[in-house]
Structure 1
Amino acid sequence: MFSKANIISTLVLTIWAFGGGYLLWGILGESLFADHMLTEGLMKEMPDMAYIFVGCLIQAFGFSTIYGKYGATAYGAASGFALGFWFSVIVGLGEGLIDFATANILDLQGILINFVLFVIFFGIMGLLAGLIYKKTTA
């Protein structure tokens, strides 16, 4: 669980999760979601960066650990991206549709936009994990 590959992958993925999340949802997503938010004032003006960082670290460690077991037969960019895609389906599309059915957060088009952002986010996360595991595992 605390192999060299997992530790390096976790560090790199944490940086991607923090920076990529800001890029995708903080900069790009803000304008994309403007017309699709169903509840005014839902998002905080200033998020708590410490909790975001800890959340990114947990996501990165979990993703890296799962990839270490999932991709063990063929570490690489393709298997990493594939795992990232399936994470996107579970979190971005599955959970998004459940949220759409039970809460007034985003309209359906907003859910689909969010899913695309999740595919990019977790796809890059998987790609990075795959490359790191391939380079650091014998």
Structure 2
Amino acid sequence: MTLKSRVLKFLKNYTSTISRLRMTFPNNLTRPTFFFLIVAIFSGCQILKNLDILTTNQQGVYHTVQKGQTLDSIASVYNINVVRLKRINGVYDPRKLQIGTRLWIPGARQVLNVDSKNNKKAAVKKKKKIKRIPK
């Protein structure tokens, strides 16, 4: 069932429900109905965005997180955006990522080796203070 047919089915059911409700509450229904419709449309759009809808034939692999691997390192090896990887796998706090967690990597053709030794982010070096030469 396509997204368009789902939306049309929803609207058909919604309008028939509203018609029945208008018979019961003809005066007070207009504003709440409009508000509900707007909220439903915008929340539906946000839900589709957050789910990062994949087609059923989407190619990909499952990567099992190992000791020392971070979401950033996994994303860089598979060449995928970290935000997208978090969204697809429902990872809300990358610090709580545990060893053995299986992550879906869309578009990957094989499981790649993620080097867990060099995964720490580069430390920011402090700038050396420059001594001023008195004039």
TM-score by length of 2: 0.30
Ranked by relative contact order (alpha carbons within 8 Å, sequence separation 6 or more), the top structure is 1
Higher strand share: 2
Larger Cα-atom Rg: 2
Higher helix share: 1
